[in-house]
Amino acid sequence: MPTAYFNPPECRRHDMGDGHPECPARLAAIDDWLIASGLDHALEHFDAGPVDLKDVELAHTHGYVAEIGARLRECAATGGRCAVDPDTSANAHTWAAALAAAGAAVRATDVVIDGRADNAFCAVRPPGHHATRDQSMGFCFFNNVAIAARHALDVRGLKRVAIVDFDVHHGNGTEDIIAGDERVLMVSLFQDPLYPYSGAVPKGTNMVNVPIPPYTRGGDVREIVEAMWLPALERFKPQMIFISAGFDAHRDDDLGQLGLVEADYEWITLKVKAIAERHAQGRIVSVLEGGYNLHALSRSVGVHLRALADL
Ligand SMILES: [Zn+2]
C-alpha cells in the first residue's frame, strides 16, 4: 500500500511577514523537491477538509479554542495582521491554515487506521508542537500531532499510541497536553539550551525527554536513539506512531546548532518504522514541524518520505 501525502493549499497562505523563517516557501520547496526527484509519483495524494473543532478540543481547552478562533476569524475578516506572541502572528489566512493543518493530521490518522495507506506524511503549517492546551506560541496555534493522537485514542478507540519528536526544539506544547496520559508514550530529543527552554525535567512518567548539547552530531544522536528511545518504544508496544517531524536539527539549519544530515533522518525514520511494523501494523502518521533552511528541509523530507514509502 502507498504512503499518503497531504499538502493542503490553505497552509501556503498563512504568512507571518517578510523575513520570517516559518514561511510559505517551506512548503513550496518540499513540493518542488518531491516533483524534481520523481518521488511525488510514488505517493498517494489525499485531500482533507478543515478539522472538526470537537477534535481540536481533545487536546486544547474549550476556552482557548473559542478565544483563538475569535481572534483569527477577526484577523480574516479585517485582512490585517495580528501579533500572537513575539515570534508568532496571523494574517487573513491563518485561521483557514490552522484548521487545514490539523484537519490533515486527523484525516491522515483515519486513512491509516482504515487501511487505505500504510503510513502518511502531512506537509502542513502552521506547525504545532509548541501549542499548549491553552496557549499559542513559537509559530504554533493548534497542536496537530496531539490532536491526531487523541483522535486515534478517543474517537478511533486505539489503546496506546506513541509520539516521536525529533525537532531541534523541545515539544513543550505536546508535553503539556499529554504528560500524565498513560495511553501515550512521547519520546523526544532536542537541543538544550534552546527555545522554549523546557524539557530537561520531564512532566510525566510517559515522557522520554533527551536534552542534547549544541554541536552534537548525527552519530551521537543515533546512539541516544538506540539507548533511550528504542527500548522505551519496544516496551510500550504502541498501536500507532505519530512523528513530530521537524528538520531544524539539520547541520545547515540556523535556528539550532545540531549536526544531523539527511542520512540521520533516514536512519531514525527506518528505526521508528521497524517498531511500527513490529507492534503497530506499520501505522505511522508523520506531521511537519520545523525546518527552515529550504534546501536542507526539502532534501530531508525527501529521505524521510523515501524511507516511509520503501523507495
Ligand atoms: Zn523547531
Distance CA 297, CA 259 (A): 14
Band of the pLDDT at 1, cuts 50, 70, 90? confident
* Consecutive H or E run containing 287: strand 284-288
What pLDDT, on the 0 to 100 scale, is given for residue 80?
Answer: 78
What pLDDT, on the 0 to 100 scale, is given for residue 298?
Answer: 98
Residue 106's nearest CA partner among 130, 142, 131 is 142
Residue 250's nearest CA partner among 168, 191, 130 is 168
Is residue 130 flagged as an active site residue?
A: yes
Strand partners, 163: 186, 242
Domain count, the chain: 1
For the cut 90, the answer to whether the pLDDT of residue 79 exceeds it is: no
Could you read off the pLDDT of 153-169 as tens digits, one per residue?
A: 999 999 999 999 999 99
What pLDDT, on the 0 to 100 scale, is given for residue 182?
Answer: 98
Question: Annotated catalytic residue: which of 14, 60, 129, 130?
Answer: 130
User: 167: CA distance to ligand 1 center in Å?
Assistant: 5
Length of the chain, in residues: 311
User: 245: CA distance to ligand 1 center in Å?
Assistant: 9
For the cut 90, the answer to whether the pLDDT of residue 85 exceeds it is: no
Strand partners, 241: 162, 284
Residue 246: CA count within 13 A, CB half-sphere: 33
What pLDDT, on the 0 to 100 scale, is given for residue 135?
Answer: 97
For the cut 90, the answer to whether the pLDDT of residue 285 exceeds it is: yes
For the cut 90, the answer to whether the pLDDT of residue 82 exceeds it is: no
Say if strands 207-212 and 184-191 run parallel, antiparallel, or are unpaired. Answer: parallel
User: 115: CA distance to ligand 1 center in Å?
Assistant: 31
Band of the pLDDT at 15, cuts 50, 70, 90? very high
- What nine digits make up the cell of 278? 513490529
User: 214: CA distance to ligand 1 center in Å?
Assistant: 14
Could you read off the pLDDT of 117-164 as tens digits, one per residue?
A: 999 999 999 999 999 999 999 999 999 999 999 999 999 999 999 999
Give the whole-number percent of the chain exceeding pLDDT 70. Answer: 100
Q: DSSP assignment of 185-198, as one string?
A: EEEEEEESS-TT--
Distance CA 184, CA 172 (A): 15
User: 231: CA distance to ligand 1 center in Å?
Assistant: 25
3 contacts 121 by C-beta, under 8 angstroms: yes
User: 289: CA distance to ligand 1 center in Å?
Assistant: 6
- What nine digits make up the cell of 162? 506513541
Could you read off the pLDDT of 207-235 as tens digits, one per residue?
A: 999 999 999 999 999 999 999 999 999 99
What pLDDT, on the 0 to 100 scale, is given for residue 216?
Answer: 98
Q: In 104-233, at which residue ranges do the beta strands (DSSP E only) sit?
A: 119-122, 161-165, 184-191, 207-212
For the cut 90, the answer to whether the pLDDT of residue 39 exceeds it is: yes
**How many Cβ atoms are within 10 Å of 196's Cβ, its own excluded?**
16
Give pTM, 2 decimals: 0.98
What pLDDT, on the 0 to 100 scale, is given for residue 195?
Answer: 98
CATH number at residue 247: 3.40.800.20
User: 157: CA distance to ligand 1 center in Å?
Assistant: 30
- Give the structural domain span for 141: 3-308
Band of the pLDDT at 35, cuts 50, 70, 90? very high
Q: What is the dihedral of CA 121, 126, 129, 133, to 10 degrees?
A: -120
Angle, nearest 10°, between helix axes 94-113 and 62-78?
130
- Give the Å distances, CA to CA, from 281 to 105, 226, 284: 19, 21, 9
